[in-house]
Structure 1
Amino acid sequence: MTRTGEEAVAGVAAGVPAGVPAGVPDAAAAAPRRGRPRSEAAEQAIVGAVLRLLEQGYPLALLSIEGIAGEAGVGKATIYRRWPNKEELLLDVLQRLDEPEPDPALLSASVRDALVAALEFLRRAALARRSHSSLALISNELRSMPELYRRYHEKVIEPRRERMRQLLARGVAQGEIRGDIDLDLLGELVIGPMLSRTLLRPGAPLEDPTLSATIVDTLLQGLAPQPSADPV
């Protein structure tokens, strides 16, 4: 559901313990398994404990393994068998709370549709943060933990940026997008309007399901290759 920190939103949407937003179990089930078989109930309890502690006012940087274990009703060893330290636990929680990434099949479709999917990802993430206080808290506090922020950027944000570069490069190669602009700048032009609504204007409307398509179609008109001037 969420994308955390400013860049996270660029880039961040049944059987859940109290305090865990809807959608967490699906994300938890999809998370890759590491090492020995896990207890899904214990993992959900630990994720729920992190979110409840945040909702109770504990700063992200001050959360401790001891406090999380106590809130979850598990021993510290139960947490350490799954995550080597607090930063890795929080990174896992952040990823579980993320909105589902666009379907890879859609990203390999038309450049226009893939760009719309990328913006829809950001729009849904922002709506999820507005609906769940714990997600907004994580977003606001992520930068207070530089190592966690670095790891999240490295593992989540940079791969998203690279996918955007590849998508825009395909648009340039296919003659749909002008090729005289740096790909990173092109990416910022695409996601900028949505980020403005989610970061700079937190009360701006995001419910319109046609918003992403409107932004992309308007941008593509301006980014289309210009015909060569007729020779004099």
Structure 2
Amino acid sequence: MQPATSPSAAEPQAAPTTHTPVDPGAADKPRRGRPRSEEAERAILDATLRLLGRYRSIAAISVEAVAQEAGVGKATIYRRWPGKEALIVAAVEDAEALPAVLPGHSLREDLIVVLEHLRLQALDKRGDGLMGMVAGEMRSHPELHRRYHEVVVEKRRALLRDLLQRGVDSGELLADLPIDVLMDLVTGPILVRKLVRENASLDPELPVQIVDALLGGIRARS
């Protein structure tokens, strides 16, 4: 009869393992170098615009409501924006942003591109009521109103100002009208139809009609 052997003698001992301490908040921290999820960001911005259009009220919207509408966690939103106001500005900027680069073939073509973008924006049901809310309710939120004008309005006006100034410098436009007046002449008709004349048409031919009417009146005569 063979003598019994102890488990320690019969089996090799496993090497001791070391355990790395787990950071309980690691799951909520973005990984360095990892690209931000464009799909999640798109869902958040679209959800914010839908809620703005649905409730037409800044006060009625919360980060929690946006997260639920977008199907993401609140932490996903807070990793991108510090709070509700920053998120709203980002959503409005996304909805109202003009093309970063204009075709540049002619002043007329570029103006038509700008107005077509404004026309489509006015028809965009995601932000239905957005222009009216921005024009009114944002005034009761001074910091949000300031950021909206700084991030959205001024950026849009800067692009249009540069475009019209090039037209003045090239001799295509009259040089004795202030650029601010020219900008209002370009964008005013579509904004009036969206904000004041709610039942007015925004037909596809409208940008061409506006640009040709304006250039016929303010174009420099050779």
| TM-score, length-scaled by structure 1 | 0.68
CA drift at 1:72: 4.5
Task: Specify the alignment match of 1:78 in structure 2.
Answer: 76
Task: Specify the alignment match of 1:153 in structure 2.
Answer: 149
Task: Specify the alignment match of 2:210 in structure 1.
Answer: 215
CA drift at 1:214: 1.7
Task: Specify the alignment match of 2:101 in structure 1.
Answer: 104
The root-mean-square deviation of aligned C-alpha atoms, in Å, is: 2.8
How far apart are the structure 1 equivalents of 2:44 and 2:91? 9
Deviating 4+ runs (over 6 angstroms): none
Task: Specify the alignment match of 1:21 in structure 2.
Answer: none
CA drift at 1:189: 1.5
8 Å CA contact 1:111–1:167 kept in 2: the answer is yes
Gaps of 5+ in 2: 1-31
Identity %: 48
1:190 counterpart = 2:186 = yes
Distance 1:164 1:57, change over 3 A: closer
Task: Specify the alignment match of 1:66 in structure 2.
Answer: 64
Offset from partner CA, 1:12-70 (integer Å, 9 cap, x none):
xxxxxxxxxxxxxxxxxxxxxx9853344543453454355446637322422234345
Which structure's CA Rg is the greater one? 2
CA drift at 1:164: 1.6
Instruction: Specify which structure has the bigger relative contact order, considering alpha-carbon pairs within 8 angstroms and separated by 6 or more residues.
Output: 1
CA drift at 1:178: 0.9
1:166 alignment partner AA: D
1:156 alignment partner AA: V
Task: Specify the alignment match of 2:117 in structure 1.
Answer: 121
Offset from partner CA, 1:79-101 (integer Å, 9 cap, x none):
21121111111222223334x63
Matches within 5 A, 1:1-232: 37-51=35-49, 53-54=51-52, 57=55, 59-72=57-70, 74-98=72-96, 101-102=98-99, 104-106=101-103, 108-128=104-124, 132=125, 134-142=126-134, 143=138, 144-207=140-203, 209-226=204-221
Q: Which range moved further: 180-189 or 141-150?
A: 141-150
How far apart are the structure 1 equivalents of 2:165 and 2:152? 20
How far apart are the structure 1 equivalents of 2:33 and 2:147? 21
| TM-score, length-scaled by structure 2 | 0.71
Gaps of 5+ in 1: 1-33, 228-232
